[in-house]
Amino acid sequence: MTEFKVVTEDFVNISVTTSEDDYCVEKRFKKGLTVHDLKNKLELVTGCSAQSMKINVYDSNNKFVCFLANDDALLGSYRVDSGMRLHVTGEFAARHFLGDGENIETSKMSEEEYNKRTDTLKAYLERNKLGKYNEEQQRQLEERCRLEAQAEEEAAKKIEVGDRCEVAVPDKPLRRGCVRFIGKVEFSPGWWVGVQYDEPFGKHDGTVKGVKYFECPPKYGSFVKPAHIQVGDFPEENAELDEI
pLDDT band at 3 (very low <50, low <70, confident <90, very high): very low
Whether the model pTM is above 0.75: no
For the beta carbon of residue 143, count every other beta carbon within 10 angstroms. Answer: 10
Backbone angles phi, psi at 131, to 5 degrees: 60, -130
Highest mean pLDDT range out of 114-123, 127-136, 142-151, 154-163?
A: 154-163
Higher per-residue pLDDT: 21 or 187: 187
Rounded CA separation 35/70 (Å): 7
pLDDT mean over 53-73: 88
pLDDT mean over 44-60: 86
Higher per-residue pLDDT: 93 or 14: 14
- CB-count burial class (<10 Å; 0-12, 13-18, 19+) for 207: middle
CATH hierarchy code of domain 11-133: 3.10.20.90
CATH of 164-243, one of 3.40.1350.10, 1.10.40.30, 2.30.30.190, 2.40.160.40: 2.30.30.190
User: Could you tell me how many helices (H) and strands (E) the chain has, helices first?
Assistant: 5, 12
Q: Is the pLDDT of residue 213 over 70?
A: yes
Return mean pLDDT, the chain: 81
Q: Which residues pair with 28 in a beta bridge?
A: 13
Where do you find CATH 2.30.30.190 in the chain? Answer: 164-243
**CA terminus-to-terminus distance, the chain:** 28
3-state DSSP assignment of residue 242: helix
Residue-level pLDDT at 215: 96
Rounded CA separation 74/129 (Å): 28
Q: For a pLDDT cut of 70, what percent of the chain falls above it?
A: 77
Q: Is the pLDDT of residue 97 over 70?
A: no
Rounded CA separation 4/87 (Å): 21
Q: Is the pLDDT of residue 108 over 60?
A: no
For the beta carbon of residue 190, count every other beta carbon within 10 angstroms. Answer: 17
Asked if residue 59 lies in contact with residue 84, where contact means CB atoms within 8 angstroms, the answer is: yes
Residue-level pLDDT at 228: 93
Mean pLDDT lowest among 44-53, 58-67, 129-138: 129-138
pLDDT mean over 15-24: 74
Residue-level pLDDT at 154: 94
Where do you find CATH 3.10.20.90 in the chain? Answer: 11-133
Ramachandran category for residue 99: left, alpha or beta (phi over 0 → left; psi -120 to 50 → alpha) = left
Higher per-residue pLDDT: 229 or 105: 229
- Polymer length in residues for the chain: 244
Residue-level pLDDT at 131: 59
Q: Which residues pair with 230 in a beta bridge?
A: 166
